[in-house]
């Protein structure tokens, strides 16, 4: 299986040479930034950080007694909110989250104080020596209950943060045309990111004027902004260098700003480098998760098997702080209907405070949760109408004739949803049947997705990217981009784009990890936009560079500049391949003439219009579709699910690097399968009770199904040479397909995720059998719960 996001495969460096007591970052920055995992970094005089946190989900802070901790040997600093020189705020969008609590805690794990000591053991002892006195307050842990009258308030302004809507067509009128109506409530659980490398950073101060942060992160510019805010420094005074990052999946988008601000604050006060690296248990207890959601459906179809209307109401559990919840809700809101033509739609998505761990970015960004519900309802309606689930999708899927989404966007032709569906079915039909043992049942399920590529309209201001391309005198190339590699293949994609554009072999191109002092703010590495945005910025830089390169090559070739093409390591005359000179010769000539051989590039998405009140307009720049077909084996007695095979067909625009593409699809399928079948967050009163991979069960290599992949090219995207993102579409259809396959195997409806054995066994006891559904009169509206 090709490597997925969690396996960066980057080399470790040898130990750093000794330096002075206060080393300047630029003396060793390239070594640290390019070759060292943050957990391996060590500098003379470096301190180790630890956190004092709340063990209650909701409480008043009565007292913090710090004197015993401060008196311990090797303890250098113990800080509280009173020691923050700038703003005590780390909220990435809303200023609702303090770096350090002042008088109130709202979640288990909320930070109360920071410790810096000369060893990890001393830091841990200091944490244990801090005496914390908390007065418990009522808490709320369900997003629906949080909106009930009299519910405990997480914040004074109320528990409802915001409601998003999609309103299209007359639901009441189309309701009367439906011959079958299906109602359900789905409870979709959260998910741990399970990246290989826990959260970690190293902050190196230069007095109190500047600080450099080395971080395992997806978004170094987010980290830069948070550290500058907390320390009261300018952005130019805060340098952030991404270290090789062992997986992200969204968990290293906004959250790394918090440990980075902690380490930077301690470094600012002590004048010494400070490293903060979480243990796995701490990471799982404190960091953000995929949002848990309650999704309520009322969908209707007519006797011809056509959807008439769809109503969706979603309650998103934001946890104690907003973080990125409103942004995740934007995608969930417009993704709730999927790739289907529905004449009348009403979607409401409520973002709700609770006293749970806060939700954040996770691969798919809200779309997987609503897609599970949408695809489940499609299957239920199909069975109620006596139709095969695939046939029901054929009658309703968007295509070149019906290409208007629920947000009123007319998709560009060709629309490949039907082709993806049909090809997945064809491929599944050519594979051997899945074998089942005694007492096991086999089922098949389908999941379709319409994925909005790039950032939602609400995040348009961040939809940008910067690149720097340097042509060296020997013809090699250095490329700097502002988007990050975390094992998903961005570096190889950027290398491929730069090599292709300059006509050099890929091994001649060196791509550097991001450094906020060398490239402009490029927004977040999210939404499957890495190759798209970074690649487009690189192409822009190459275009600018060629304004100076082509005239030099033309002189050497004795042709007009417009006839110069770069291919196979040579500059040559278009149409006359025998007239060529090595690109290295052109580069050397540019250097000899002192012609600038560096260029910057920039990308920004096209402006779009979107009405937030109705959810109508250009939510995304362009779209991709995908279909996954899953085959499962279920032990009905034990409630155990084995995913045996997944067929994945994706509309990719243009394949840039096939091994990286297939690696992303493999990884997305396994991660989605794990969430669907085994990855249960056991949260009780806001505390995670299974914060380890012993009790939180992620798939192993032996659990991976047989995967068959087909990439359909032709529907061009906006990426380099028409490519589209693959990181998130590779996951989104899998949980829906697996859930539908389990229901097909057992002949029951399942309304929870993940499908751990207790959920399946309990559902078999209640039995919502398909046979019961089929017995209802076809002309009667039926609600099923």
Beta strand spans in 464-508 (E): 464-471, 477-481
SS3 725: coil
Determine whether 662 is an active site residue. no
Catalytic residue among 197, 565, 679, 728: 728
Tell whether the torsion through CA atoms of 334, 376, 711 and 291 is positive or negative: positive
Task: Give the strands of the sheet with 570-573, arranged side by side.
Answer: 564-567, 570-573, 576-582
Burial class from Cβ neighbours inside 10 Å (0-12, 13-18, 19+) for residue 591 reads: middle
Per the CB < 8 A criterion, the answer to whether 197 and 246 are in contact is yes
459: left (phi over 0), alpha (psi -120 to 50) or beta: alpha
| DSSP class of 460 | G
Per the CB < 8 A criterion, the answer to whether 365 and 331 are in contact is yes
Q: What angle do CA 435, 437, 439 make, to 5 degrees?
A: 130
Tokens 């990217």: give the residue: 465
Report the distance separating Cα 241 and Cα 480, nearest Å: 12
- C-alpha Rg value of the chain to the nearest Å: 27
Tokens 């039909």: give the residue: 429
Q: How many CA atoms lie within 13 A of 163 on its CB side?
A: 15
Report the distance separating Cα 780 and Cα 297, nearest Å: 18
Per the CB < 8 A criterion, the answer to whether 288 and 357 are in contact is yes
φ, ψ for residue 259, nearest 5 deg: -60, -35
Nearest to 105 by CA among 59, 151, 138: 59
Tokens found for residue 427: 């491929």
Tell whether the torsion through CA atoms of 15, 17, 22 and 24 is positive or negative: negative
Does 414 sit behind a cis peptide bond, omega within 30 degrees of 0 on the bond before it?
Answer: yes
Determine whether 654 is an active site residue. no
Nearest to 657 by CA among 508, 497, 469: 497
Supply the DSSP string of 505-548, one letter for each residue: -GGGEEEEPPBTTTS-----S-TT-HHHHHHHHHHHHHHHHHHH
Burial annotation 356-390 (CB, 10 A radius, 16+ → b, else e) = bbbbbbbbbbbbbbbbbbbbbbbbbbbbbbebebb
Catalytic residue among 36, 111, 275, 331: 331
Which residues are part of the catalytic machinery?
331, 728
């Amino acid at each position: 299986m090709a490597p997925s996001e969690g396996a960066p495969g980057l080399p470790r460096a040898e130990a750093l040479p000794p330096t002075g007591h206060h080393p300047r970052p630029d003396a060793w920055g390239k070594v640290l930034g390019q070759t060292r995992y943050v957990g391996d970094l060590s500098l003379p005089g470096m301190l180790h950080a630890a956190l004092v946190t709340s063990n209650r989900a909701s409480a008043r802070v009565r007292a913090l007694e710090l004197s015993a901790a401060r008196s311990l040997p090797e303890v250098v600093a113990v800080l509280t909110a009173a020691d923050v020189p700038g703003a005590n705020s780390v909220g990435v969008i809303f200023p609702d989250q303090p770096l350090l609590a002042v008088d109130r805690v709202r979640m288990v794990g909320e930070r109360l104080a920071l410790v810096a000591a000369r060893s990890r053991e001393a830091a841990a002892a200091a944490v244990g020596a801090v005496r914390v006195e908390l007065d418990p307050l009522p808490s709320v842990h369900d997003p629906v209950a949080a909106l009930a009258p009299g519910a405990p308030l997480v914040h004074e302004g109320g528990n409802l943060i915001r409601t998003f809507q999609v309103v299209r067509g007359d639901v009441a009128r189309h309701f009367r045309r439906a011959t079958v109506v299906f109602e359900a409530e789905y409870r979709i659980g959260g998910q741990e990111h399970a990246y290989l490398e826990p959260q970690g950073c190293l902050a190196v101060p230069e007095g109190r004027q500047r600080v450099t942060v080395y971080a395992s992160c997806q978004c170094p510019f987010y980290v830069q902004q948070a550290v500058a805010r907390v320390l009261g420094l300018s952005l130019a005074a805060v340098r952030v260098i991404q270290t090789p990052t062992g997986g992200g999946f969204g968990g290293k988008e906004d959250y790394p700003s918090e440990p980075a601000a902690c380490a930077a604050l301690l470094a600012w006060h002590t004048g010494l480098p400070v490293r903060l690296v979480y243990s796995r248990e701490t990471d799982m207890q404190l960091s953000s998760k995929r949002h848990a959601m309650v999704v309520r459906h009322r969908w209707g179809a007519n006797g011809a098997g056509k959807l008439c209307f769809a109503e969706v109401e979603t309650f998103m559990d934001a946890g104690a702080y907003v973080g990125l919840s409103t942004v995740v809700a934007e995608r969930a809101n417009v993704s709730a209907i999927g790739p289907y033509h529905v004449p009348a739609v009403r979607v409401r998505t409520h973002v709700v405070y609770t006293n749970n761990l806060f939700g954040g970015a996770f691969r798919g960004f809200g779309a997987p949760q609503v897609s599970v519900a949408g695809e489940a309802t499609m299957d239920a309606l199909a069975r109620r109408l006596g139709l095969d689930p695939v046939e029901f999708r054929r009658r309703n899927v968007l295509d070149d004739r019906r290409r208007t989404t629920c947000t009123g966007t007319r998709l560009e032709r060709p629309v490949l949803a039907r082709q993806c569906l049909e090809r997945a079915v064809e491929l599944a039909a050519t594979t051997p049947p899945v074998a089942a043992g005694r007492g096991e049942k086999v089922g098949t399920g389908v999941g379709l997705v319409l994925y909005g590529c790039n950032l939602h309209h609400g995040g348009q201001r961040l939809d940008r990217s910067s690149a720097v391309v340097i042509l060296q005198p020997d013809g090699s190339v250095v490329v700097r981009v502002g988007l990050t590699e975390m094992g998903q293949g961005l570096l190889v994609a950027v290398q491929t784009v730069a090599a292709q554009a300059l006509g050099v072999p890929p091994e001649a191109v060196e791509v550097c990890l991001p450094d906020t002092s060398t490239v402009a703010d490029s927004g977040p590495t999210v939404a499957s936009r890495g190759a798209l945005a970074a690649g487009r910025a690189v192409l822009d830089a190459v275009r600018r560079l060629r304004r100076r390169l082509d005239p030099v090559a033309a002189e050497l070739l004795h042709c007009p500049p417009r006839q110069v093409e770069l291919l196979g390591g040579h500059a040559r005359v278009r149409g006359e391949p025998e007239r060529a000179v090595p690109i290295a010769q052109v580069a050397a000539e540019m250097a000899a003439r002192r012609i600038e051989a560096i260029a910057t590039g920039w990308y920004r998405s096209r402006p779009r219009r979107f009405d937030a009140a109705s959810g109508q307009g250009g939510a995304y720049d362009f779209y991709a579709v995908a279909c996954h077909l899953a085959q499962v084996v279920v032990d009905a007695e034990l409630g155990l699910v084995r995913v045996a095979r997944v067929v994945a067909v994706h509309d990719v625009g243009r394949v840039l690097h096939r091994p990286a593409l297939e690696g992303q699809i493999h990884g997305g399928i396994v991660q989605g399968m794990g969430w669907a079948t085994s990855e249960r967050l056991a949260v009780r009163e806001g505390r995670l009770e299974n914060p380890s991979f012993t009790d939180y069960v992620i798939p192993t290599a032996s659990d991976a199904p047989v995967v068959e992949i087909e990439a359909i090219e032709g529907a061009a995207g906006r990426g380099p040479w028409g490519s589209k993102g693959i990181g998130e579409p590779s996951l989104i259809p899998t949980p829906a397909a697996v859930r539908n396959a389990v229901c097909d195997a057992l002949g029951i409806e399942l309304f929870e995720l993940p499908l751990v054995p207790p959920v399946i066994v309990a559902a078999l006891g209640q039995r919502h059998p398909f046979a019961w559904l089929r017995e209802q009169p076809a002309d009667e509206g039926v609600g099923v719960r």
